[in-house]
């Protein structure tokens, strides 16, 4: 009887252990399945978000019904014999909320053709939304100079100027966010493309070097935002035209470079404040430009030191601040 009781006890214990092992196995299997489901869901969401990113610049997003004429911004677009890119850019930005007018800086030897003007007017009327009337103007220049980019516009209604190249496209929601950031600091430059000025001492004097994007990425600091994609107040067009030292404008014309650095110097000299870098996805639809030419960084280093001497100081202020739209980020 004792042996039978012992056997029954052992059998019951083995059965309990077997049930416990099965339960642990079931729980482990459930955890694995749950983890797999989470991984699959995360992958699907990531693919969907990447897919929307690839096409988001063609979608202007929700309309901003609070915008009204005179309260929005003007696009100042530099262009040069790239009509397909120009048409593509105008077609996109015409959809963006808050846009009042588009001014094309035209420095080609021949005036814009009637067919080009008719096409651009048509595409603006077609793509403008919410009953907005976006004005298109060609600012025609007789001299081919990069200084034309910042020539004063007498009849400009909007205070905010969005300076952009014809081969660069940002999603409308990114432009709207940058515009909102600019409205919080209208005296400063607000842009998407930061650059850094590196400083070293040589024989007791500061020597400045133009440092590109990788230096910004590595250090997290920058000193200016390039005018090929930035907001600034229209008053700086007047100051550039009338107050910028003639020697600097002549240097820009002769070397076909550094007009953006000159504008950054001007704004920083007025404000004694750094620019504001805004995070945004950039789509470069062109393949050529001044920055692709050999010796570009060396030429811009020369500009920095020459302009600093002209201004009597280095006005550019380094900063590490970056404006990010937290509504469009998972982690911030």
Q: Which residues are catalytic?
A: 260
Q: What contacts 67, CB < 8 A, 6 or more positions away?
A: 97, 98, 132
In the beta sheet, which residues pair with residue 284? 168
Report which of 259, 253, 281, 211 is spatially closest to residue 78, judged by C-alpha positions: 259
Angle value at C-alpha 83, between 82 and 89, nearest 5 degrees: 95
Cα–Cα dist 332/315, whole Å: 31
Altogether, the residues listed in the chain come to a count of 332
Burial of 72 (0-12, 13-18, 19+ CB in 10 A): buried
Phi, then psi, of 185 in degrees rounded to 5? -150, 70
Q: What is the CA radius of gyration of the chain?
A: 29
Q: Which residue stretches of the chain are H helix?
A: 2-55, 83-93, 114-127, 172-184, 213-219, 235-243, 246-255, 259-271, 296-311
Determine contact, residues 150/214, Cβ cutoff 8 Å. no
Helix (H, G, I), strand (E, B) or coil at 306: helix
Q: How are the residues of the chain apportioned to helix, strand and coil, as percentages rounded to the nearest 5?
A: 50, 20, 35
Helix (H, G, I), strand (E, B) or coil at 290: helix
């Amino acid at each position: 009887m004792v042996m039978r009781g012992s056997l029954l006890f052992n059998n019951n214990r083995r059965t309990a252990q077997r049930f416990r092992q099965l339960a642990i196995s079931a729980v482990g299997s459930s955890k694995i399945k749950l983890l797999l489901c989470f991984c699959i869901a995360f992958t699907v969401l990531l693919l969907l978000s990447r897919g929307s990113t690839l096409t988001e610049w063609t979608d202007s997003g929700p309309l901003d019904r609070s915008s009204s004429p005179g309260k929005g911004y003007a696009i100042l677009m530099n262009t040069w014999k790239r009509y397909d890119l120009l048409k593509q850019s105008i077609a996109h930005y015409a959809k963006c909320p808050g846009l009042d007018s588009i001014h094309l800086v035209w420095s080609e030897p021949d005036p814009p053709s009637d067919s080009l003007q008719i096409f651009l007017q048509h595409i603006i009327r077609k793509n403008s939304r919410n009953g907005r009337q976006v004005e298109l103007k060609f600012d025609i220049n007789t001299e081919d100079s990069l200084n034309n980019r910042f020539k004063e516009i007498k009849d400009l209604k909007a205070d905010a100027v969005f300076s952009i190249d014809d081969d660069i496209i940002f999603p409308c929601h990114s432009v709207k966010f940058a515009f909102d950031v600019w409205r919080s600091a209208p005296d400063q430059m607000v842009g998407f493309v930061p650059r850094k000025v590196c400083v070293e001492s040589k024989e007791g004097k500061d020597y400045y070097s133009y440092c590109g994007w990788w230096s910004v990425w590595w250090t997290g600091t920058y000193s200016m935002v390039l005018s090929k994609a930035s907001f600034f107040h229209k008053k700086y067009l007047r100051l550039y035209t009338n107050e910028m030292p003639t020697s600097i404008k002549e240097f820009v014309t002769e070397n076909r470079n550094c007009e953006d650095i000159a504008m950054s110097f001007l704004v920083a000299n007025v404000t004694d404040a750094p620019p504001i870098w805004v995070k945004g996805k950039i789509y470069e639809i062109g393949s050529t430009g001044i920055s692709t030419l050999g010796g570009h960084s060396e030429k811009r280093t020369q500009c920095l030191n020459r302009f600093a001497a002209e201004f009597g100081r280095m006005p550019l202020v380094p900063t590490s601040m970056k404006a990010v739209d937290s509504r469009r980020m998972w982690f911030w």
